[in-house]
Amino acid sequence: MESNTVTRLVDLGFSEYEAKAYLALLQENPATGYHVSKVSGVPRSMIYEVLGKLTARGAAMEVRKEGKTEYAPVPPKEFLDQIHREHEELVSALKADLEGLRGASDLEYVWNIEGLDNVMTKARQMIAEAQDSIYMAVLPTTFPDLETALRKAIDRDVRAVVYSSQAVDLPGGRVVVASTSEEHLRTAEGLGLVLVVDGDEVLIGEHLTEGLAQGSWTRSPLFVLIAEHHLRTDLYLPRILDILGERATDVIHEDDWDVFALAFERTIH
């Protein structure tokens, strides 16, 4: 337990000696430098330098007691809350600085994501940051992993439209059940997820149920347009064909009949 805590403090920016000295102070305080050295294992030749750094960092404080200097830890919650605030301020400042330095670029990046956890984490992040709209095609088996994030987005008045091969429960959102052929469904199961947020970014996830999950994310306007167009139009085609009935042959070119028949299990003559 203590070794893990030392590692986490080191990850936070402590030296190993500083981490051990801080933990020693939490266990016994106030304490002299000699006693902290004895409890923590930090060499006596370095203990006062280490305690000075902890004090400068705001993790410890000097206590004058009966003419001698002892040390006490700043309570962990108080100290860590301060670090959290400082890091948030630093990150905000860096965002502004770095965005100001970024030049205009015509290059649109596609970020490839490996692993189911990483793909779903990215999907939940996109949904959590949505401001206006969410359009998503998803398998019923994948939907539960995103349901909580979707419900929270709806609570923020974000429009959420979910397309699936089966009905899913999403109060406040719109669910479109898209009928599809068995062959088309097998293809969809390989695809797994198409998510467009705010008309600004798209995530496509593949093989989410096969243990070989991968995804592609981009803000490319062209890819976003194609994905949103697919979600908002193509999945309505079965209904449109049902309404057209025999008249479908009047509006569908002969060269495309096989494509429609394959996707929707229809015979078009």
Angstrom CA distances, 21 to 17, 29, 31, 154, stand at 6, 11, 11, 48
Residue 152 scores a pLDDT above 70: yes
110-264 to CATH, choices 3.30.870.10, 3.40.50.2000, 3.40.50.720, 3.40.50.300: 3.30.870.10
CA angle 173/177/180 to nearest 5° reads: 155
CB 231 within 8 A of CB 136: yes
The pLDDT confidence band at residue 267, using thresholds 50, 70 and 90, is very low
Concatenated DSSP letters for 193-248?
EEEEETTTEEEEEE-TTTT--EEEEE--HHHHHHHHHHHHHGGGHHHHHHHHGGGH
Which residues, at least 6 apart from 266, have a Cβ–Cβ distance to it below 8 Å? 241, 248, 260
One-letter amino acid for residue 187 of the chain: T
Residue 10 vs residue 243, higher pLDDT: 10
Matching fold, domains 2-76 and 110-264: no
Q: At residue 66, what are phi and psi to the nearest 5 degrees?
A: 50, 45
Residue 61 CA, chain-centre distance (Å), reads 38
CATH architecture of residue range(s) 2-76: Orthogonal Bundle (1.10)
Question: What pLDDT shows up at residue 18?
Answer: 93
Give pLDDT tens digits for 67-116.
Answer: 788 999 999 999 899 888 888 888 888 888 887 776 555 556 888 988 88
Tokens (6 digits) for 3: 């070794």
pTM of the model: 0.57
Residue 102 vs residue 118, higher pLDDT: 118
Residue 235 vs residue 142, higher pLDDT: 142
Give pLDDT tens digits for 41-63.
Answer: 999 999 999 999 999 988 999 88
Concatenated DSSP letters for 63-96?
EEETTEEEEEEPPHHHHHHHHHHHHHHHHHHHHH
Question: What pLDDT shows up at residue 27?
Answer: 92
CB 190 within 8 A of CB 179: no
Residue ranges per structural domain of the chain = 2-76, 110-264
